[in-house]
Structure 1
Amino acid sequence: MSIRFAIVGCGRISERHAQHISNVGELVAVCDIVREKAEGLAEKYGAKAYTDLDEMLRYEKEVEVVAICSPNGLHAAQTIAALQAEKHVICEKPMAINPYDCGEMIKAAERANRRLFVVKQNRFNPPVAAVKELIDAGKLGQIYSVHLSCYWNRHNAYYANSWKGTKALDGGTLYTQFSHFIDLLYWMFGDVKEVTAYTANYHHQGIIEFEDTGVVNLRFYNGTLGSVHYTVNSYQKNMEGSLTIFGEKGTVKIGGQYLNELEYQQIEGIEIKDLPPGNPPNQYGNYVGSMSNHDHVYANLVQVLTNNGIIATNGFEGLKTVEIIDKIYTAAKPL
């Protein structure tokens, strides 16, 4: 019997989830406080529409997995409610917008003996996966330093009449736009010990309640030095999402607009070649997101729930991303 799913939050990203759910299981219920959104998604996939999460969890007893696709600031409460209803949960990024909430989500999953999956699709980008494999095998030797560039565009219309840009539901540019990128720093190089940072809101004053630009210096526990330059002020369109790595035995740059291209490599005795083509980015009308790897995310979920597979990104790893972002914002000096 196929896995039965429900979706909470019927905005843009929910369509991506619904599409891949239909490939691996059955979407039986959707929920959104805006009835028209819930009914529109439900009609397309033959699901039942709800406007109240508690009601959906109460009546949809056969749902096994709940996908949380709502605004960032709602992730924690909705995830905990679904776990307490004894559902597995797959939560969109960011897991939450503060470390405390992440911890409560993890505890709720443990108490319910249910799985908590966190969407971190950049891990599946072919050049990212290839470089991660080399790092884990020690082929780059000691990692000396790394630099993460996040140069995207989010125009004022993106934030208009939306929860995006609010401190309470969005949380900050690093949470909504670049948490996938911060996740890769933890996944590839480990935890961060020290942070210094400057942030500023240059182009979105009166539009968003936080920064649109940041420059960050990092020191990892393993001694690696790192830097991050991020902005949503790239003129008119996304420019680049890249990660450059300087190691004892090699230098690598993964680039493109969303870490989708292997732009440079010089590695002792090794050449990365014949990478499979990656998926296109998520398209959201007037703006573009990260590479669309939700197919891999859902394939992993099915493997974990039906075949004792190893979870790709668990709640602890989702927490670490949020902790690093929280460290950056705590250390940041606004200009």
Structure 2
Amino acid sequence: MKNFALIGAAGYIAPRHMKAIKDTGHRLVAALDPNDSVGILDSYFPETEFFTEFERFDRHIDKLRRAPERANIDYVAICSPNYLHDSHMRFGLRSGADVICEKPLVLNPWNIDGLLEIERDSGHRVSTILQLRLHPAIIALRQQVRSQPHRPHKYEVDLTYITSRGHWYLQSWKGDSKKSGGIASNIGVHFFDMLHHLFGELQANVVHASRDTCAAGYLEYEQARVRWFLSVDQAHLPPAQREQGQRTYRSITVDGQEIEFSGGFTDLHTRSYEEILAGRGFGLAENRCAIATVSAIRQAPVAPLRGDYHPFLKHVERQP
């Protein structure tokens, strides 16, 4: 049985990590969050030592590190705000633990280089949650793409992801691009990783819209041309979804054919943990393309619309 510590226990995604730790037969022995709304711990690990101050958490982890081996922290799971991931991963590695970090791993690709050095020095490893790589529909699509390596034409792909958020969103750290990395990093990075995983190296990256609540653009990979649209604005939902009271719309079409992957998400964090604990997790190097993609999107100028823009852009007033 492995010992886990969790940073960011009050966050939206933290319960999925708690469930994954429990489902894989391990235990959470310490947790940190400056907010104390962590009653969810009672549903999984009520005996967890909880801290609201990093300094006390640090002291506790160090105390465990010096204790007999059975008390050592084996893994630090990180669910903190995006801009803190880099620092918290370094803390985990230097504490003598392996690290499991939520997406996005970091905000900029050069942060990966420093983490690689600390990995080498510490002898421990960073793994990340790239759950779409484990989704059955994506696995099947990748097998299909790899079975046609000499296809004469690139796949034509449309990616749409709308996940409605309330007014709180822009008032939180998620609405601050310096902390979240912007909409592409915060809700889109695992889709960009999926596209790289499916279609090879990125060759072109054009941004057609960039706002606090939505973004859109064009990506070209070795085997695909991709038009993408991301939004947290409920007004961008298709009418049918709004009428049915749905708050999320997720669609990928490949050569006009819808890839059904709306289901099968529930246990992907547990599947990710199973792979990581078996030594088959996705590490720092696997993250580089997606992190470079979202970093470039964040810094890119908005380009004039051409024939390769996403059809959902007709619903979005263009920025000057």
**Which amino acid in structure 2 is aligned with residue 58 of structure 1?**
D
Give 1:133-152 correspondences, 5 Å limit.
133-138=143-148, 141=151, 144-152=154-162
Q: CA deviation at 1:122?
A: 1.4
Determine if contact 1:6/1:66 at 8 Å carries over to the other structure.
Answer: yes
- In the other structure, the counterpart of 1:164 is 174
- Equivalent-residue separation in structure 2 for 1:13 and 1:32 (angstroms): 13
CA, structure 1 residues 27+196, in 2 after alignment: closer, same or farther (shift >3 Å)? Answer: same
CA distance in 2, matches of 1:315, 1:174: 19
Unmatched segments (≥5 aa) in structure 2: 66-71, 303-318
5 Å matches for 1:169-188? 169-188=179-198
Shift of 1:147: 2.1
CA pair 103-252 structure 1, distance change in 2 beyond 3 A: farther
The answer for the alignment partner of 2:20 in structure 1 is: 20
**Higher strand fraction (1 or 2):** 1
Check the 8 A contact 1:199/1:332 in 2, yes or no. no
Alignment of 1:85-124 (within 5 A): 85-124=95-134
Alpha-carbon distance in 2 for matches of 1:115, 1:58: 18
56-65 vs 9-18, which deviates more?
56-65
- How large is the Cα RMSD of the aligned pairs? 2.4
Provide the residue aligned with 1:242 in structure 2: 251
Q: In the superposition, relative to structure 1, how do residues 239 and 279 fare at CA in structure 2: closer, same or farther (>3 Å)?
A: closer
- 2:208 corresponds, among 194, 198, 215, to 198
When residues 145 and 19 of structure 1 are mapped into structure 2, their CA distance, relative to the original with a 3 A threshold, is same
Equivalent position SS for 1:164:
helix
SS of residue matched to 2:105: coil
| Code of the aligned partner of 1:314 | G
Q: Counterparts of 1:160 and 1:326 in 2: how far apart (Å)?
A: 20
Contact 1:84–1:112 (CA under 8 A) maintained in structure 2: yes
With over 3 angstroms needed to count, the CA separation of the structure-2 counterparts of 1:31 and 1:122, relative to structure 1, is same
How big is each residue's C-alpha offset from its partner over 1:158-215, in whole Å with a ceiling of 9 and x where there is no partner? 41652221122211111111111111111111221222212243xxxxxxxxx32222
Query: What is aligned with 2:62?
Result: 58
2:313 maps to what in 1?
none
Question: The residue matched to 1:332 in structure 2 has which SS?
Answer: coil
Please tell me whether the aligned partners of residues 30 and 41 of structure 1 are also in contact (alpha carbons under 8 angstroms).
no
2:58 partner amino acid: D
- Sequence identity of aligned pairs in percent? 22
Paired residue type of 2:133: R
What residue number does 2:277 align with? 302
1:253 to 254, 258, 273: 258
Please give the per-residue CA displacement for 1:42-68, whole angstroms capped at 9, x wherever unaligned: 785021112314224312321100000
Opposite residue 41 of structure 2, the aligned amino acid is L
Q: Greater helix percent: which structure? A: 2
For 1:230 and 1:137, the matched residues in 2 are separated by: 30
Q: 1:238 to 1:140 in 2, by over 3 A?
A: farther
Which residue identity does 1:133 align to in structure 2? Q
Distance verdict in 2 for CA 1:166–1:197, change over 3 Å: same
1:77 is matched with which residue?
Answer: 87
CA gap 1:160/1:60 in 2 versus in 1, 3 angstroms? farther
Provide closer, same or farther for how the CA distance between residues 5 and 141 of structure 1 changes in structure 2, counting only shifts above 3 A.
same
Residues 1:48 and 2:58 aligned together: no
On the 8 A contact 1:99/1:323 being kept in 2, the answer is yes
Paired with 1:224 and 1:44, the residues of 2 have a C-alpha distance of 42
Give aligned pairs, total. 283
* C-alpha spacing 1:4/1:241, structure 2 compared with 1 (3 Å): same
Aligned equivalents of 1:28, 1:232: Cα separation in 2: 35
Q: Which moved more, 1:318-327 or 1:191-200?
A: 191-200
* Post-superposition offset of 1:217: 1.7
2 CA distance for matches of 1:155 and 1:301? 31
If the length of structure 1 is used for normalisation, what is the TM-score? 0.76
- After alignment, is 71-80 or 144-153 more displaced? 144-153
TM-score (norm 2): 0.80
Distance 2:198 2:153 in 1: 10
How many angstroms apart in 1 are the aligned matches of 2:286 and 2:158? 19
CA spacing shift, 1:121–1:158, aligned 2, 3 Å: farther
